[in-house]
Amino acid sequence: MLNRRSTLMLLSAALSVPKTAFAATPREITWDDLLPAGVPYSEIIGQGEIDETNDTWNPIYDENAFILNETLDGAYIKMPGFIIPFETGSKGVTEFMLVPYTGACIHTPPPPANQLVMVNAETPWPGDRLWDPVWVIGMMRTQLQSTDLGQTGYAIVADQMEVYEW
């Protein structure tokens, strides 16, 4: 039987264990996991139009571009991607769009909403590493939202990030 002192010591020891010791193992996902079940990426993009002024192609997405994988809502995940920064500070970037390939949303039309992820990072990602591919680990939500660069279908609160190595 535990006495009061032993109980308090056990409780204080449990509180001093880092939260990562209790963290779940993230589910590793790919960009294909964000697509609606049974719909290949090639069927999401419908017709399009050329913007002659800016010399770009503007795809017109069908309704499949806005269908999200609801099984990922609330999932603790790990996924790779590239950073398009929104909020940067002296310590790095904390708010960014995670995109499937380099330059998405900057030099090309944006991918469909179900291929773009808004990320809020608890720890800033270094500003000198913005071109590195990254692993983002955290809680994912299905959430359509508009930005200046495109509409996103997912959001992650990243509790950890690391360089993605092939």
Q: Please indicate, yes or no, if residue 118 is contained in any of the structural domains.
A: yes
Written as one letter, the residue type at 90 is S
Q: Please indicate, yes or no, if residue 51 is contained in any of the structural domains.
A: no
Report residue 106: phi and psi, to 5°.
Answer: -105, -60
pLDDT value, residue 4: 53
pLDDT value, residue 40: 79
Domain of residue 96: give its range: 27-34+69-163
Query: With a cut of 70, which residues of the chain have pLDDT below it?
Result: 1-23, 46, 107-108
Handedness of CA 78, 82, 49, 57 (dihedral sign): negative
Q: Please indicate, yes or no, if residue 6 is contained in any of the structural domains.
A: no
Distance (Å, whole) CA 99 – CA 158 = 15
Q: Please indicate, yes or no, if residue 11 is contained in any of the structural domains.
A: no
Q: How many domains would you assign to the chain? A: 1
100 is written with which tokens?
């499937």
Q: Please indicate, yes or no, if residue 58 is contained in any of the structural domains.
A: no
Q: Please indicate, yes or no, if residue 140 is contained in any of the structural domains.
A: yes
Q: Please indicate, yes or no, if residue 8 is contained in any of the structural domains.
A: no
Q: Please indicate, yes or no, if residue 61 is contained in any of the structural domains.
A: no
Instruction: Sort residue 121 into left (φ over 0), alpha (ψ -120 to 50) or beta.
Output: beta
